């Protein structure tokens, strides 16, 4: 790609960018799958010829499906979702006909690693949680629950599997839910962060959660246990804000690759 005039992004090494006076091209590579965004039909024809001369490629046309993620366009924007993948998980788990629930995990549920009967079929738990992790690519609402379940991979107990099954029942309510990248929106970064202080009963470490919007479009989110034990709400919140600021800084750096300047300050909202 470098020989064809592309430059490799320093924010994401799988992204290649080429900008000329007449066109802009972004090329994303994942193993042997390639996604191209370009604003010139002439340029894309030349790029396809170059790729075909160097690799054996198959042109699948306009983007509709990529690595298990479905893409639909409308006047409102681009809808990214994983309905087919979500239904496959439900079918393989035997929950396709289950009764939906309104939340993925009970608010007061505190899972731990010791209290409960060990779940004998560990591989089925590993497989289910792994598939749910991939589903969080487009499902912010599953992030906290799946993050919690992923902490017990070494020794799952029956309570953990029951909680995973509840996530499936929640997913059943709207398997096609996903992200909408708005067609008309500002380019202002707006972030929200929160925390759950000392919420892990095994380690008493806190959990950080944040989501970041570019205008009206959700572009980044995370739920993650903090690496150290915080001794107060203020310390936990400070760590949560710091983690969010790191992601904001990376996003601003990433936007430069697309020639999107963000000189104004990002807006960060947090609990008080």
Instruction: Tell me what pLDDT residue 123 has.
Output: 94
State how many domains the chain has: 3
How far is the C-alpha of 101 from the C-alpha of 168, rounded, in Å? 9
Instruction: Tell me what pLDDT residue 65 has.
Output: 93
Last residue of a domain, one of 61, 93, 111: 61
How far is the C-alpha of 164 from the C-alpha of 132, rounded, in Å? 9
Last residue of a domain, one of 173, 208, 237: 173
Higher-confidence residue of 43 and 35: namely 35
* Confidence class for position 12, pLDDT limits 50, 70, 90: very high
Q: Does residue 145 have a pLDDT over 90?
A: yes
Query: 267 forms bridges with which residues in the sheet?
Result: 190
Please tell me whether residues 116 and 140 are part of one structural domain.
yes
Domain around 127? 80-173
Under 8 Å CB-to-CB from 108, ≥6 apart: which residues? Answer: none
Please tell me whether residues 88 and 169 are part of one structural domain.
yes
Instruction: Tell me what pLDDT residue 261 has.
Output: 87
How far is the C-alpha of 148 from the C-alpha of 134, rounded, in Å? 14
The token pair that represents 18 in the structure block: 């080429």
* Confidence class for position 110, pLDDT limits 50, 70, 90: confident
Whether 162 is covered by a domain: the verdict is yes
Q: Does residue 190 have a pLDDT over 80?
A: yes
């Amino acid at each position: 790609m470098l020989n064809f005039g592309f430059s490799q992004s320093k924010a994401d090494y799988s992204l290649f960018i080429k900008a000329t006076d007449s066109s802009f091209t972004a090329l994303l590579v994942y193993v042997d799958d390639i996604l191209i965004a370009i604003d010139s039909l002439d340029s894309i024809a030349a790029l396809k010829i170059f790729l075909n001369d160097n690799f054996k490629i198959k042109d699948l046309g306009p983007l509709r499906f990529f690595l298990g993620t479905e893409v639909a366009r409308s006047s409102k924007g681009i809808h990214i979702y994983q309905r087919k993948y979500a239904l496959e998980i439900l079918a393989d788990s035997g929950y396709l006909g289950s009764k939906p629930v309104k939340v993925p995990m009970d608010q007061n549920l505190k899972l731990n690693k010791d209290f409960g009967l060990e779940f004998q079929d560990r591989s089925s738990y590993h497989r289910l949680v792994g598939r749910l992790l991939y589903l969080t690519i487009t499902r912010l609402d599953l992030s906290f629950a799946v993050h919690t379940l992923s902490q017990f991979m070494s020794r799952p107990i029956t309570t953990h599997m029951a909680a995973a099954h509840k996530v499936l029942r929640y997913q059943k309510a709207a398997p096609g839910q996903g992200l909408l990248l708005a067609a008309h929106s500002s380019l202002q970064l707006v972030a929200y962060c929160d925390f759950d202080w000392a919420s892990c009963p095994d380690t008493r470490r806190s959990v950080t959660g944040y989501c970041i919007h570019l205008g009206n479009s959700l572009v980044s989110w995370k739920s993650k246990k903090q690496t150290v034990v915080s001794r107060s709400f203020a310390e936990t919140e400070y760590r949560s804000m710091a983690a969010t600021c790191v992601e904001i800084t990376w996003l601003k750096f990433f936007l430069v690759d697309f020639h999107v300047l963000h000189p104004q300050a990002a807006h960060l909202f947090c609990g008080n």
